[in-house]
Amino acid sequence: MKHNPDSFKIIHAGALRKPVKECIHLMMKRYPELQVELEYAGSRACARAVAGGKVVDIIALADYKVFNEILIPRFVDTSFVFATDQVVLAFDEFSVNSDKINRHNWMDVLLDSNWLKYGRSDQHQDPCGYRTLILWKLAEKYYNRPGLYDALEEKCTDIFPKSIDLAGALMQGKVDYGFEYLSVARQMGLNYIQFPREINLSDPRLAEYYAGAQIKIEGCYPDMDTVITGAPIEFAVAIPRNSNRKELAREFIELLTGPEGEEILEQNGLIPC
Amino acid sequence: MSAKNSDEISLDKLIEPSLLLLVQKKPSHGYELIQNFNCLNPEEEVEPGTIYRHLRKMEKKGFLESSWKTSESGPARRLYNITGEGMKALDNAVVKIEQQKQELEHFLAVYREQDKQGGNLDEA
């Protein structure tokens, strides 16, 4: 794809696809001639692209900590937290045992059937992936089920680069269940089970409790792991230092975090904050 | 039918008065307010999303104003400050809460007296 040097470029987490597009439509009403290039990937993949020299005007990610780890201070000055979410178990009416599963027996339903497939996103590329693993660790403790984390990890063979790909696979029937953001499940019209707040990573009051779960993922450099500590979910947005359209980028962030953006975020199942 | 006064805050579960009281004490961001909310309302299980929505609603009504505040090690978050209108709304809310408290105390006094008399005050 040939890049227009004057176009307004946004790279964003796949989970933000719909709200970002809707905000861009509002920007295009203000500036009908505006050329926009939108690209999406897992948040860690987005950040690595910018750290690798990719020039964009806006980067919006599913975890502000990805900015701190990969981009601040060399490529980004500050990120702005604009929304929260929670992890849910998404499925549709044709998923195996969808008539039996509930918030109390979900782990048994996932583990007991040989015919049932469930998926998650890749923890090395996408925060929803490492948040799913953190949720499994917290679930082991919360339900007092020793070995639950290992059992869930061993049986989960369907791993997708980003949460939006997992949602697509759910809709196509390639997997029966997927650990997703509530916002993505709602945007896609999927059924879902909400987990208790002690494990769904939604509540700042439980920040210390969530921090009791940690996992290791690939770091920014070969053979260097990064430890991810459980924390409430917070989406953030920033203007990279190499942006060519900083004024317009500021206007986009004002729109996303202002009343119009808040309405769009709410409609898409996110909680503006 | 009673008209709803848009200059007033909702007393439902004391969410809005509690948030104004916390912000009056110290300008705070939503994350921090959620963490501190249960100090005032230990029994109340309010969803984080509900608290964020009340903050935005009170900002729209002019009771709160917000600006971006960057922390030393973390991201920038929206920091809420109480406005003059917010102070007045909190004062008005406190008057109503006092009235409600008196009504509740009166109800409890009547109930206890009636209970002491075996359930019927007229027979006393």
Q: Distance (Å) from the C-alpha of residue A265 to the closest C-alpha of chain B? A: 12
Quick: pLDDT tens for A258-272: 999 999 999 999 999
- Whether A117 and A158 share a structural domain: yes
- Whether A92 and A78 share a structural domain: no
Q: How sure is the predictor about A240, in pLDDT bands with cuts at 50, 70 and 90?
A: very high
Q: Estimate the crossing angle of helix A127-142 against helix A163-172, to 10 degrees.
A: 80
> For A81, which of B37, B38, B77 is closest by C-beta distance?
B77
Given the structure tokens 């045992």, which residue do they identify? Answer: A97
Judged against a pLDDT cut of 90, whether residue B74 lies above it is answered with no
Could you tell me which residues are beta bridge partners of residue A8? A36
Given the structure tokens 């007092």, which residue do they identify? Answer: A144
Residues 6+ positions from A2 with CB-CB distance below 8 Å: none
Asked if B49's CB is within 8 angstroms of A84's CB, the reply is yes
Identify whether the C-beta of residue B62 lies closer than 8 Å to the C-beta of residue B88.
no
- Whether A115 and A169 share a structural domain: yes
Identify whether the C-beta of residue A10 lies closer than 8 Å to the C-beta of residue A38.
yes
- Whether A131 and A20 share a structural domain: no
- Whether A106 and A213 share a structural domain: yes
Instruction: Tell how far CA A59 is from the center of its chain.
Output: 13
pLDDT of residue B120: 66
A121: its two tokens: 């996103």
CATH code, domain carrying A154: 3.40.190.10
> For B70, which of A78, A234, A257 is closest by C-beta distance?
A78
Gap between the Cα atoms of A70 and A270, Å rounded: 25
The pLDDT of A144-150, averaged and rounded, is: 97
Identify whether the C-beta of residue A236 lies closer than 8 Å to the C-beta of residue B75.
yes
Identify whether the C-beta of residue B31 lies closer than 8 Å to the C-beta of residue A273.
yes
Asked if A262's CB is within 8 angstroms of B78's CB, the reply is no
The pLDDT of A134-155, averaged and rounded, is: 97
Gap between the Cα atoms of A84 and A74, Å rounded: 26
**Is A1 a domain residue?**
no
Handedness of CA B18, B20, B26, B28 (dihedral sign): positive
User: What is the fold of B12-123?
Assistant: Arc Repressor Mutant, subunit A (1.10.10)
pLDDT of residue A92: 94
Asked if B34's CB is within 8 angstroms of A204's CB, the reply is yes
**Is A226 a domain residue?**
no
Gap between the Cα atoms of A116 and A118, Å rounded: 7
Given the structure tokens 């769009």, which residue do they identify? Answer: A264
Q: What is the CA radius of gyration of chain B?
A: 19
Q: How sure is the predictor about B2, in pLDDT bands with cuts at 50, 70 and 90?
A: very low
Judged against a pLDDT cut of 70, whether residue A54 lies above it is answered with yes
- Whether A70 and A129 share a structural domain: no
pLDDT of residue A1: 54
Judged against a pLDDT cut of 90, whether residue A119 lies above it is answered with yes
Quick: pLDDT tens for A203-233: 999 999 999 999 999 887 777 888 999 999 9
| Among A13, A57, A65, A105, residue whose Cα is nearest residue A220 | A65
Asked if B31's CB is within 8 angstroms of A203's CB, the reply is no
pLDDT of residue B3: 38
Q: How sure is the predictor about B8, in pLDDT bands with cuts at 50, 70 and 90?
A: confident
Judged against a pLDDT cut of 50, whether residue B1 lies above it is answered with no
Judged against a pLDDT cut of 60, whether residue A138 lies above it is answered with yes
The pLDDT of B79-88, averaged and rounded, is: 97
- Whether A188 and A154 share a structural domain: yes
pLDDT of residue A255: 97
CA distances from A11 to A47, A60, A82, A167, A262 (A): 9, 7, 16, 20, 20
- Whether A22 and A75 share a structural domain: yes
**Is A227 a domain residue?**
no
Q: Which helix (H) or strand (E) holds A91?
A: strand A87-91
Quick: pLDDT tens for B9-53: 888 888 999 999 999 999 999 999 999 988 887 777 889 999 999
Asked if B76's CB is within 8 angstroms of A81's CB, the reply is yes
ipTM confidence? 0.87
B71 versus A86: which is more confidently predicted? A86
B54: its two tokens: 């009340």
pLDDT of residue B6: 63
**Is A223 a domain residue?**
no
pLDDT of residue A113: 86
Half-sphere exposure (Cβ direction) of A146: Cα atoms closer than 13 Å: 0
Strands A158-160 and A118-121: parallel
The pLDDT of B100-109, averaged and rounded, is: 94
- Whether A91 and A209 share a structural domain: yes
Gap between the Cα atoms of B106 and B84, Å rounded: 33
For residue A57, what are the domain limits? 8-84+234-272
- Whether A115 and A212 share a structural domain: yes
Instruction: Tell how far CA A149 is from the center of its chain.
Output: 21
- Whether A211 and A263 share a structural domain: no
The pLDDT of A16-24, averaged and rounded, is: 96
Half-sphere exposure (Cβ direction) of A2: Cα atoms closer than 13 Å: 1
- Whether A78 and A106 share a structural domain: no
Q: How sure is the predictor about A18, in pLDDT bands with cuts at 50, 70 and 90?
A: very high
Give the number of domains in chain A.
Answer: 2
Average pLDDT, chain B: 88
Identify whether the C-beta of residue B93 lies closer than 8 Å to the C-beta of residue B8.
yes
The pLDDT of A160-179, averaged and rounded, is: 93
Q: Which residues of A touch B76 (CB under 8 A)?
A: 78-81
Q: How sure is the predictor about A238, in pLDDT bands with cuts at 50, 70 and 90?
A: very high
Gap between the Cα atoms of B31 and B29, Å rounded: 6
Which chain B residue's Cα is nearest to A208?
A: B35
At residue A53, what are phi and psi to the nearest 5 degrees? 110, 0
pLDDT of residue B123: 55
Q: Which residues of A touch B49 (CB under 8 A)?
A: 84, 202, 271
Identify whether the C-beta of residue A230 lies closer than 8 Å to the C-beta of residue A211.
yes
